[in-house]
Structure 1
């Protein structure tokens, strides 16, 4: 596929291709296939994915806005390195946003929506049981954003999505090695039950503990959450 050919694609097809490439790039960053600190050019990535450079450049701009990569003029994009202090900063921001929002939306979630939220939580447990960190991270992101969307604030949801993307798998590998990923995953099921019981205070407290544990990744600490 040439750049010119890509340009002639109908707009909707170009958007679908860009989204597909962006999702593939996110997965490659999360899994470590694209390494932090390494510079990747759009043509090289295009050859990897079997597409033209145009949708790759467009997709990388999405990741740039999310903080997953930085631009290197005349060379390409560098995968952003995430330090423990970066993770701590991101966790602090999420603690300011998510627990309070969860408390507010508990009474807003229709009873009819609870089975779908439970299904999303079960997907997290499923990936944890398999030790699938990439699947866990994506399922966890979907669950958290689904809850926040009931608040009706798109900017808030997009902000948390970007924060989640930036932390990626930080801490999950060591926690999985200690056999604690399943415990973190099952907290999502407990959270759904608290929604079903319409207990906003308990839901807020659990979300605060759940997110706060991302900062504890040393042996003896609690499970890393998401």
Structure 2
């Protein structure tokens, strides 16, 4: 089971690179939805099947794989999104930065004093790499919708860390974290709609030109 879980974590890392390198928002949303479904299945592979593990799996798959992507597609359909705004590093630069961050995550994880049964898993390096990829997406993207996706990647990295403690974490802790995430997506969706309505664009770099009226 741990071998299959590691293979799924490799898929998560590849999805990180795909999101960093794609210029199509719909592709990025579908990719983050797939990543959410994959992560939702991880507790069943890492820990013994129990009642609260099944509930966490169901809740995460529905939230990350269905509800949040549906909200993002809904926001995308209501705004003008024809303009192509490359990231500050460029698409190739984003991919290279993501690859370097992944290598750094593996090097750093190898130096951590992990428990013996965690040292053979890819959980920690995959979590660190996903968090770093989320930071890269947040810092380099100029479209608000892509920054929301970067925020989701960041949260997914934190969720991977939580997989090591799933048996010790009560269900309500996981539910509370996901409810905070959904609330954050609602707020960011409102911001995206407002930016698109006021400026006919969701390029957040244009907000630097705002001035207070006297």
After TM superposition, the score normalised by the length of structure 1 is 0.30
Higher strand proportion: 1
Higher relative contact order (CA 8 A, sep 6+): 2
After TM superposition, the score normalised by the length of structure 2 is 0.32
